[in-house]
Amino acid sequence: AGLTRAPAGAHTAVPEVVAAATALERAAREVVMDSAFAPIAVRVRGAKSLPAWTSLATPDDFSLSAQPYMTAVGEHLLLLPQCLEPFAASGALQLPDSDASTIDESESVYGWLEALGGRAVEALLAMASNLATLSPGGVKQLGADCAYLRMVLSNGLGLASDPRLEEMDAALTAPSGAASGLAQLTTTAEHVPKAVAHALMAGG
């Protein structure tokens, strides 16, 4: 029996099927990414109403520690490598916005950790940006929370330092007497929320 000829248009339909399958696979990865990030988002969004931001008490630098919402975020992030590694060998950890067909296992895990860590930083900055006001004690507490997240990302997960957290840390730890330098920092720094800037200037 001879070979039958493919119907007209069959060959042009193959790329469309591949493109549709690729889009579906990418969408599935985005759902997984969103699911992995969801516990972080819930914790950080809920932190906006914490009393520490407006507390009149000024905590001692040596006893100051991250608040429970941030330690919960850190614990979730530190568990991610254990959850992701079993899927690395299968290639299932290709990032949603990546078209690479071959990815090293360690790089794929690192890529997901980097993406989720970056989202955690974005969530913290967004929450801080939505704070109406910060007391001097609230500024210190935010500094402790930022420092804890930096430690988790760099020391715990081995990720490169996030410049947005560095910028925030520079503002939060600026000497109170350096008013001119502080003014320059808080008016030009892209990632220092207004409530932080106002509180720092008031305290400076």
User: For the chain, what is the mean pLDDT?
Assistant: 77
* Contacting residues for 20 by C-beta, under 8 A, at least 6 apart: none
How many C-beta atoms surround the C-beta of residue 175 within 10 A? 9
Per-residue pLDDT reduced to its tens digit, 79-132: 999 988 887 776 666 665 555 444 455 568 888 999 999 999 999 988 988 888
16 vs 188, which has greater pLDDT? 16
Single pTM value for the model: 0.75
Name the E strands within the chain.
none
Q: Could you tell me if 162 and 190 are in contact, meaning their C-beta atoms sit under 8 angstroms apart? A: no
d(CA 157, CA 33) in angstroms, rounded, equals 17
Per-residue pLDDT reduced to its tens digit, 32-84: 889 999 999 999 999 999 999 998 887 777 778 999 999 999 999 999 999 88
